[in-house]
Amino acid sequence: MTDTYTLTQPPVSPSSRRRLRRQEEPEEVPRSVSSWGDRRRPVVRWTLRIVQTLVLIGLIVAAVLPLVWLAKASVSTTTELVTDPLTLIPSVFDWSNYAAVWNDLGIWRYLLNTLLMALGSAAVTLFVCVTGAYTLSILRPRWGNVVYWAVLATLFIPGIVSLVPLYLTVLDLPGLGISLLNTLWAVWLPAGASAFSLVLAKRFFDSIPRELIEAARIDGAGPVRVLWSLVIPLSRPILSVLALLSAVAAYKEYLWPLLVLQDPGVQPISVALPRIEPALEYSVMMAALFLSMVVPIGLFLIFQRQFLRSVGLANGIKG
């Protein structure tokens, strides 16, 4: 009778596994203006560091300096802005500019109108894009490809070309015979007809595994239940991106609200400030501009991860 001996290898530590994995993987060649061999040279290394530092400082100055100057101008007097506009620290801090903008000018009303316009545009955009992308990507009707390519074709039409037909449509809504002028619906409905947002949502819906949808249908879920309980929860990242893009686009829109919102009581801040600018002092106008700038900067700081994700998704669609 012979004994059988089993040879076992000693356990390998995690650090050893990582070291072996790095040795097996091929070394990546850096794609840059200089190789790793050049970067080991002190002259090249320090030259690259100096260039990178100067570029970074230039970008910071170009991005931050106008904001700092506007913040300084908002608490300066009109006389100081005219006589010495390039100083970054005012000689006297005049906080009454904000009081005049908030109380006398009533800028809070225009900010509220802008907030309502942005939120409504985001809600309508989400409704149109989710339902349209769900129909084209999940339900897949026979005429889906025709509609999809027709939507893609609208991306090549300049917005200024459709400005007059869109205005005539809002002026006399077909089938209803009503006018949407001086109502926020005149801004909300055109904002929802975004071909880019629809394509972005459809591309994301296409990535949802079909096995999940088929399993939900086998369990007896209808189209509405599949959309509400499966597709929308899985699509929260793209929905947040679309909502932010639509809200920011509505916040900075000027020409279309100027045409359809002629009543000062419903105008956003982008339309109201140029209208009242001739009647304001220079320093008060700077305070109004600074307050109008705080909102988008705050949105970016809060939702910067979603903004960066939207840039990546947009580049993927355009590529």
- Classify domain 112-265 by CATH number: 1.10.3720.10
CA distances for 188 relative to 29, 56, 167, 257, 260, angstroms: 50, 39, 13, 10, 11
CA distances for 52 relative to 41, 44, 48, 62, 129, angstroms: 17, 12, 6, 15, 42
Q: What is the largest CA-CA distance in the chain?
A: 109
Question: Tens digit of pLDDT for each residue in 198-253?
Answer: 988 998 898 888 888 888 888 888 888 989 988 998 888 888 888 888 888 888 88
**Is 187's pLDDT higher than 90?**
yes
Residues in the chain: 319
* DSSP element (H, E) containing 167: helix 163-171
Residue 142 has, within 13 A of its CA and on its CB side, a CA count of 0
Q: Residue ranges per domain, the chain? A: 67-105+280-319, 112-265
CA distances for 89 relative to 92, 97, 118, 167, 289, angstroms: 9, 16, 34, 46, 18
Residue 6, pLDDT score: 45
Question: Tens digit of pLDDT for each residue in 4-59?
Answer: 444 445 555 655 655 655 555 444 444 555 666 666 677 777 888 898 899 999 99
